[in-house]
Amino acid sequence: MSDPLLRLDDVYKSYGDERVLSGVSFEMETGDVDVVIGPSGSGKSTMLRCVNRLTEIDSGAIYLDGDCVTDADTDVNELRKQVGMVFQDFNLFAHLTALGNVTLGLRKVRGMEKSAAREKGYEHLEQVGLLDQADSYPAELSGGQKQRVGIARALAMDPKLLLFDEPTSALDPELVGEVVDVMRDLAAEGITMLVVSHEMGFARSAASDIVFLDGGEIVEHGPPEQLFENPRADRTREFLGRLRTEHEEG
């Protein structure tokens, strides 16, 4: 039997006295798209950041493709080459053009030649529909375009796994669609994605599994139709109810 692509095994994390993750365990296979939902402060971002070790865990273990990546002797830069990340507030490199954003990692991390990096950079900008904006600086792009560049930047490293931390929460409602469309395309291409998002349309149509995180624990984990239509736990039902009301109000 082959290893899962990602496995979290009883992960704990506290900030001071505040326990943020308490015994999180779950697995993803290659090609899966898992969507994490949960109230604000429930530890969703922390969980993602533990996977590429922007945050260090206190105990437990995380495995990528069978290798434990939370060992002290793991090369974190090597790990991060394999795990791309897309941020809520984009974090595009403000001094670089769209193309520059996508090629920086290719040049400085992968050591590619300038021309080869450019070629690959254009490919990924095309993948997110922004070939015509290659020479624009972040300040010249709309929020939706920025996030698509952010996705292209992560894709360019050919990661085994892409992490998304609320990729559409900072966007004006009319710009959410273009980003979700790109994410759907990626899902269809078989790219493995772990997505923190409350975009229900995306979760229903693209997710293999939904993970409901509350108070640093995985309360429920299952395919979208089951989790959305027949949640087993009261906390899940309650949260989904609140989410729907918010959605209708908003």
Partner 1 sequence: MGAETQESASAAGGRTVRARAADLTDQPLTALAVAVFWAWLVVRWTNDFLLDGSLAPRGTSFFPTAPIEFAASTLSGVAADLGVFGLPFRWLAGLVGFVAASVPYLPELATGVWVTVLLTVSGIAFGFVIAVPLSIARVYGGTITRSVALAYTELFRGTPLLAQLFVLYFATPLSIYIRELPAVGTGFVPAQAFWVAVVAFTLNSAAYQSEYIRSALNSVPEGQLTAARSIGLSKVEGIRHVVLPQGLRYAIPGWSNELVYLIKYSSLASFITVRELFEQADAIASETYRYTELFVLAGLLYLALVVSASLLMDAVERYVAIPGLGTSGR
- Smallest distance from ligand ADP to CB 127, Å: 27
Chain positions 35 to 54 lying near Mg ion, rule: CB under 5 A, are 45
Chain positions 190 to 209 lying near ligand ADP, rule: CB under 6 A, are none
Count, residues near partner 1 per rule CB under 8 A: 26
Structure tokens at 233: 């736990």
| 42 binding ligand ADP? (CB under 6 A) | yes
Please name the residues in contact with 121: beta carbons below 8 A apart, sequence gap of 6 or more: 99, 102, 103, 106, 134, 152, 156
Task: Tell me which of Mg ion, ligand ADP, partner 1, none is bound by residue 95, counting a contact when its beta carbon lies within the kind-specific cut-off of 5 to 8 angstroms.
Answer: partner 1
Count, residues near Mg ion per rule CB under 5 A: 1
Assess contact for 212 and 188: CB atoms under 8 A: no
Structure tokens at 222: 């299952």
**Helix %, strand %, coil % for the chain, to 5?**
40, 25, 35
Assess contact for 128 and 210: CB atoms under 8 A: no
Indicate the residue among 45 and 127 with the shorter CB distance to Mg ion. 45
Angle value at C-alpha 60, between 59 and 66, nearest 5 degrees: 140
Which residue among 15, 94, 140, 174 contacts ligand ADP (CB under 6 A)? 15
Which residue among 33, 57, 98, 157 contacts partner 1 (CB under 8 A)? 157
Assess contact for 167 and 147: CB atoms under 8 A: yes
Q: Which helix (H) or strand (E) holds 7?
A: strand 6-15
Classify residue 91 as left (phi > 0), alpha (psi -120 to 50) or beta. left
Task: Tell me which of partner 1, Mg ion, ligand ADP, none is bound by residue 46, counting a contact when its beta carbon lies within the kind-specific cut-off of 5 to 8 angstroms.
Answer: ligand ADP
Structure tokens at 123: 């490919």
| 40 binding ligand ADP? (CB under 6 A) | yes
- Smallest distance from partner 1 to CB 222, Å: 29
Strand 209-214 relative to strand 33-37, pairing = parallel
| 44 binding partner 1? (CB under 8 A) | no
CA 223 to chain centre: 18
| 80 binding ligand ADP? (CB under 6 A) | no
Which residue among 5, 6, 20, 130 contacts ligand ADP (CB under 6 A)? 20
| 142 binding partner 1? (CB under 8 A) | no
| 11 binding partner 1? (CB under 8 A) | no
Residue 208 forms beta bridges with which residues?
none
Q: Which residues bind partner 1 (CB under 8 A)?
A: 52, 54, 77-78, 80-81, 84-85, 87, 89, 91-95, 104-105, 108-109, 137-140, 153-154, 157
Q: Which residues bind Mg ion (CB under 5 A)?
A: 45
Q: Which residues bind ligand ADP (CB under 6 A)?
A: 15, 20, 38, 40-46
